Structure formats: structure tokens, C-alpha cells
Structure 1
Amino acid sequence: MMALSRPACLPRSATQSYVMAVDPRNTSRRCPACGLTTRENRPAQDTFHCVGCGHQAHADTVGAVNVLRAGPGRAGPARRDAQAA
């Protein structure tokens, strides 16, 4: 878990939304379709291609989707690592 110097959830008074710290590790390696997390899902800097289910997207898009899903109350595919595949 990463260390935070301030609270993990900070209210934004104008919109009543929250800013939340999310651990960014493996967010661009985790498949948003099947949940497989492995280094092989990133064949190039800007490319994501899941070796488990074949899902393809830009690596930044994959990372952004996974960061969004890491927030409270967000659902996504079950996470699995390469050893479980």
C-alpha cells in the first residue's frame, strides 16, 4: 500500500464529488475485460493486448479504466494473475 501524506478521500465542495488516491501499480497491465494481470499484456509502450482473452486497446485507456474501477463502489472483472491462468 502506498503512503499518503493526507487523507485518501478529499471532498470537493463545489460538486460534492471526491478525489481518492488509487494505487497505480499494474493498472496498465490488468485487462479490463477479464482481469488478467501480467507483463506480457504490454508488448509495447503504448499497446495493450491481453494474452488471456485477446482484448486490445491503447495502454493509457486501459490504465484509466482500471484507475476508475479502483474507486469506491466500482465493479469490474475479477482480478487474476498470470500464475492462476
Structure 2
Amino acid sequence: MLQDIDFEVADGEIYGLIGPSGSGKTTLVKKIVGMDRPSAGSVRLLDKKVPDLTVLENIGYMAQADALYTDLTGRENLQCFLHFFH
């Protein structure tokens, strides 16, 4: 269960979540990108309440390492996922 999460990421800033297994990183990211709805409170991105498909067009999200193509470089993986959505 996540409680009292409140943070801001400045325009152009890259933000990473680190912590031990089971600490809520994946749960938080799922709520941020709209894959899971909070049971209380809300998530806002770019001044819009999530989930909102227009928000997803303006943010980047990369799942855990096993979601990457190991035969591609990091840049090539990003370009590949970019083509999936554009």
C-alpha cells in the first residue's frame, strides 16, 4: 500500500525510482502511467488527471529490464518503442 506520495519532476528532468523489492516502485509507476487506479487520492501529470491518453504521448516509461530486447542497444530499444506508439 502506498501512502502520502507527493513529488514533482521538473520539465526535461529524468527521474528514477530505486528501492528494495516490494517497496512499491512498480505500483507507483503503474499508477503514474494510468495502468492502475489509486483506491484513494489521484495522480496528476502535466496538469491532467491520470489516466489520460494525451499525457502518455508526452512522457516516457520503460518497464523493467526483461522488457528490453537484449540484442539492441539502449538507444535502439528506445527507438523501437517510439515506433510502436507513433
Q: Which range, TM-score by smaller chain? A: under 0.3
Q: Which has the higher strand share?
A: 1
TM-score w.r.t. the length of structure 2 is 0.28
- Structure number with higher relative contact order (C-alpha < 8 Å, ≥ 6 residues apart): 1
TM-score w.r.t. the length of structure 1 is 0.28
